[in-house]
Amino acid sequence: MYKRQAMTPGFLLQVIPSILEKEGLVNLLLPSYILSIFTYILLPLVGANIGYKLATVLASTTTLITGVLTFTIFPYAVLMFAPFSLSLTAVVPRYLISKGERTENLRIAQNIGSTSGIIIPVLFAINPETSEYFLSICSLISILI
């Protein structure tokens, strides 16, 4: 059986504070993280009722749409992006288990996600002229590939 990888865009949340600071919207961070706690608990419960595959697809689609909005034209979308991007880690393993995959196969994906969480802020620190928006959009696109 081949190894599946599950990337989550939660590591992009490391650059959001600097983006929201430039927009004067740092006050959106606390509510978005509080919502993340509830979403992290509720998404697996919803997945148990509607199916983990559908829950994963809906959370991924919501994350993609709100992520693009957050990093381009509507920073208030972080109130949805943060909760759904973080809660993917609660539902993806359950979906893979329901398909007969072993959760050990997620180690590679989690390591890649962690590495990306380090690389993006470091790249910005090395070259501050590089827009966080550009790095974040590239990261979102790489998740789809």
> Domain-by-domain residue ranges, the chain?
10-144
| Integer CA distances (angstroms), 49 to 30, 31, 43, 75, 88, in order | 29, 27, 10, 32, 16
Cβ atoms 86, 40 nearer than 8 A: yes
Residue 72, amino acid: T
List pLDDT tens digits, range 63-76.
Answer: 889 988 887 888 89
Name the residue with higher pLDDT: 23 or 54. 54
List pLDDT tens digits, range 14-32.
Answer: 677 777 887 888 899 889 9
